[in-house]
Structures are given as structure tokens and as C-alpha cells.
Amino acid sequence: MTTPYPELLQRWAATVAALVPGAAPVDPEPYARNLLGRWAEPHRAYHTPAHLAAVLGHLDTLADHPADLHLVRLAAWFHDAVYHPERDTNEDRSARLAERALPELGIGEKETAEVARLVRLTVTHDPEPDDTNGEALCDADLAVLAASPEDYAAYAAAVRTEYGFVPDPDFRTGRAAVLTQLLALPRLFRTPYGARHWEDAARHNLSTELALLSP
């Protein structure tokens, strides 16, 4: 597979090298290419390699927060590796993919379990207060909510495209419920950086989208 994101291949190689003493037992690049192929599936409009690159970039911003930055980066690679919007098992299937692949790369049992836990955490985006790894991954994943109004509108449109099989009235109802649930949370972002720099913008974007969904 030819990827338009060669820097992602470099980032993957660096992350694996940081976690595997010496040389990995197998070439890690085919694993990255397999993952990127999943992220580039034609039914995706938002959950694409561009989203993966954005999450990794946000993790760079939050790099001082997680206890295990390299494991959080691996979790970012896997967190939407399996994505079918009509299913509710994506996170678990993505975690199981990590549980199969990472030991083959020489990643230890404890580290693999942590990556899988983090992937499954993206079902709720609700880490425990002392879970710095989870806080970093969830904040990086949700940072799109704090994008500029133009970029947020593009994100919302891409999500609608992924749910193109849902009739418009049903989508509006379901999307409004998701937005309302998010706005009801006491905090969208758990890291100090996210709370300072992303919280207000995200709430403004969510409230604007919710208003636009109202009949």
C-alpha cells in the first residue's frame, strides 16, 4: 500500500523502537501499513489517517501528561483501527487487534494490556482521575471539538457522511442526544492543557451544532 502519510510510518517505527529493546522480532512497517489501510477504508470520512495524524499531534502537545507516552501513542494507532459506524463493537474489536499484533512485535504482556485498555476507554472517554494515560488519549481524541468553527463544521459534515445510511430525522435526533450528553459533562477535557485551551471552544462548537440541529 502506498500511503500519503509517510511521516506516520516514521512515527510508528520510532514508537515501536522505543518500546522494544534491540530489534523487533519482525519488521514493524507492515503492521503500520495494515493499520493505515484500515484507517483509509472507503466508508470513512472522518476516522481516516488524517484523524490519526491529528490525534498523534495532540499527544505531542500533551506529551508531559501521560505516564507512558509511547503506549498512549500505540493506543492512538489502534483506537479506530476497526470502524463501522453501524456497529457498537468497534472499540473492543480494535483492542483485540492490538492484543494480537503487539506481542508479535515484541511488546510485553503488561504493555499490550495497557494499550488494549486505553483503546476500550474510548467507548466512554471517561478516565479515572489518576489515569494520566487515559486522560491524554481521550483529550487528544476529543480535541477536534475545540477546532476553529470552519474545521469543526468540516468535522461535523464528515461524521454525517459516515452515517449516510441513517435517515436525516433519525440522525438529527441521535446526534443531538450525543451533543447534549457531552455538554452535560462537568468537564470535556481532563488534562490541564485541555481544560485551559480546549474546553471553552469545544463547548461553543457543540452548542452551535446543537442549535443548528434544532427544528
Q: Do residues 118 and 133 lie in contact, with contact meaning Cβ atoms separated by under 8 Å? A: yes
Q: Which residue has the cell 462537568?
A: 186
Q: Please tell me the distance from the alpha carbon of residue 72 to that of residue 56, in angstroms, as a whole number.
A: 9
Report the SS3 class of residue 191. coil
Q: Which residue has the cell 456497529?
A: 87
Q: Do residues 201 and 123 lie in contact, with contact meaning Cβ atoms separated by under 8 Å? A: no
Position 23 scores a pLDDT of 80
* One-letter identity of residue 184: A
pLDDT tens string, the chain, 215 residues long: the values are 445 589 999 999 999 999 998 888 999 999 999 999 999 999 999 999 999 999 999 999 999 999 999 999 999 999 999 999 999 999 999 999 999 999 999 999 999 999 999 999 999 999 999 999 999 999 999 999 999 999 999 999 999 999 999 999 999 999 999 999 999 999 999 999 999 999 999 999 999 999 999 87
Position 24 scores a pLDDT of 82
Position 4 scores a pLDDT of 58
Position 214 scores a pLDDT of 82
Cell (9 digits) for 135:
486522560
Q: Where are the beta strands (DSSP E) in the chain?
A: none
Cell (9 digits) for 88:
457498537
